Chain A
Amino acid sequence: MIDLRVRERPDLRPTAAAAASNGQTDIVLMARGLSFWYGDTQVLDGIEIDVPGRQVTAIIGPSGCGKSTFLRCFNRMNELVPGTRVEGAVVFGGRQINDRAVDPVEVRRRIGMVFQKPNPFPKSIYDNVAYGPRVNGFRGSMDDIVESSLRRAALWNEVKDDLKKSGLALSGGQQQRLCIARALAVEPDVLLMDEPCSALDPIATTRIEDLIRELCEQLTIVIVTHNMQQAARVSDRTAFFTVTDAGCGILVEHSETQKLFTSPADERTEAYITGRFG
């Protein structure tokens, strides 16, 4: 458990519905009454969600519904944008993390992120993976952690003979897996993925999707995707966000993926996933 400062807030327990639907699964991440502003513009309003551990939670919704912004609330990446404001609570491991007193670097070590476009550093494959452990003062065998991270990211067999090659020389799909290996190298508990396959071809996409299913046996994954079929394929639970007339993102429905895609509870979800939105 990381030492994060606790500020008391009302009722941060998982909702009864989430506890019932998840059986014994622990809730790893929670949002409670989460609202977010870019300047004067509110983009998220009162989001309440429980993310169960060692499962894949997908977030879907139309453009502008705030799903990527919401994802970035989970590891405080939004703070890097000037003029932003957050209200409500994000709870990780029983602690509130959107508190200025909490070290955001430690939060981001425990909650890693993979972005839409592969963004390896202009360094060797080895150094890309070793970067995180080095800056975190890792003192063990760097070779071991690089190899295990590359293996977990299903990239080891393709690069093991050429670890000194630049990460930028890899194909798009390999670069994305390198970024996943880089994120895994600091042993995060949660991996946030913001449309990780949108820049990849179908074969590379399949490899990443297979990897997501393998990784969720060890860690919790939250993925934002525009591709509803991808959400249906890879996730255990799906959250549907939409945008109000005022341009603000709200959570409409969050349930088991199988249920959401076959019999959603809300007609707005039905309209979106059947392509009749708007």
Chain B
Amino acid sequence: MPPRALFDTQLKHVQDELILIGSMVEKAIRRSIESLRARDVELARRIVEDDDDIDERYLALREFCIDSIATQQPAAGDLRTLVTGMHVAAELERMGDYAEGIAKISIRMGGEPPLKPLIDIPRMAELAIGMLHRSLTSLTEKDDRMARQVWHDDDEVDQLYDQVFRELLTFMFQNPRNIQRATWLLWVAHNLERIGDRATNIAEQVIYLTTGRTPARDERWPDVGEPPTPAPANGPAPR
């Protein structure tokens, strides 16, 4: 038996769980946008219920990592794997909450007529899901170049968010009756933008995992200068 075979099994379990939780979150995001587009309240309720599974898996994985740190006294790459695992799991759990938030907006919107056809929001969702997917792939492949690319992808999500924000603002100016429905969609867009941010956090963890150092902020935007800052005052996002 090679040295630390049991511990190696534990480290692999952490990675497997992260991939599993990541796939559950990805599914939740897709279904939340589908529930919005199809006005499917039943589907939205199932997403809210299923978020409990994500939360439970996150808590179990966190406990597992803490136990491993306490009992195995990991160092170097092993330590970074476990610490990164806890961070990434927390990011995934929050992403699941954002998907749940979108589902709750679907439930709130219920039978209200749609404000406008959904075009940019599904595009944002696809981009955010792509970022999530690539951030987890960079994690499993320990590919810090791929992780850095995820940072750049976030610019596109932010730009779309800015675009959606301005468009919805226009709807609000046009007719105060639009304000509530526009605000709901703004929350959805905000949640998707936050999912993109969480994916960049995962990418940052991958860079720490592979290089042992957390990248400085000015490394983050080497080609685009300052990060885009749409930052609309749209109130708290629903959980």
Contact = CB atoms under 8 A, between A and B. Distances in A.
Contacts of A274: 4, 74-78
Contacts of B75: 228, 232, 261-262, 273-274
A262 B212 CA distance: 7
Given A274-B4, A276-B3, A263 B74 contact: no
B77 A270 contact: yes
Contacts of B13: none
Contact of B79 (A262, A269, A276): A262
Nearest to B213: A263
Contact of B211 (A229, A263, A270, A275): A263
Contact of A262 (B3, B7, B76): B76
A264 interface: yes
A95 B77 CA distance: 40
Given A262-B212, A263-B212, A278 B3 contact: yes
B73 interface: yes
Given A228-B75, A274-B74, A274-B75, A263 B4 contact: no
B88 to A, nearest CB: 17
Interface residues of A, number: 16
B152 interface: no
Interface string A145-164: 00000000000000000000
Most chain A Cβ neighbours within 10 Å, of B2, B79, B80, B211: B79
Contacts of A277: 3
A276 B72 CA distance: 13
Interface string A1-34: 0000000000000000000000000000000000
A254 to B, nearest CB: 15
A22 B102 CA distance: 52
B207 to A, nearest CB: 12
Given A262-B212, A263-B213, A275 B3 contact: yes
Interface in B74-106: 74-80
B84 to A, nearest CB: 12
A263 B3 contact: no
Interface string B185-215: 0000000000000000000000000011100
B4, B73, B211 — most chain A CB neighbours (10 Å): B73
A228 B73 CA distance: 10
Interface string B1-13: 0111001000000
Contacts of B211: 263
B76 A273 contact: yes
B229 to A, nearest CB: 32
A117 to B, nearest CB: 26
B4 A276 contact: yes
A270 B76 contact: yes
A73 to B, nearest CB: 27
A13 to B, nearest CB: 28
A276 B77 CA distance: 12
Contacts of B73: 229
A278 B211 CA distance: 24
18 contacts: A261-B75, A262-B76, A262-B212, A263-B76, A263-B77, A263-B80, A263-B211, A263-B213, A269-B76, A273-B76, A274-B74, A274-B75, A274-B76, A275-B3, A275-B7, A276-B2, A276-B4, A277-B3
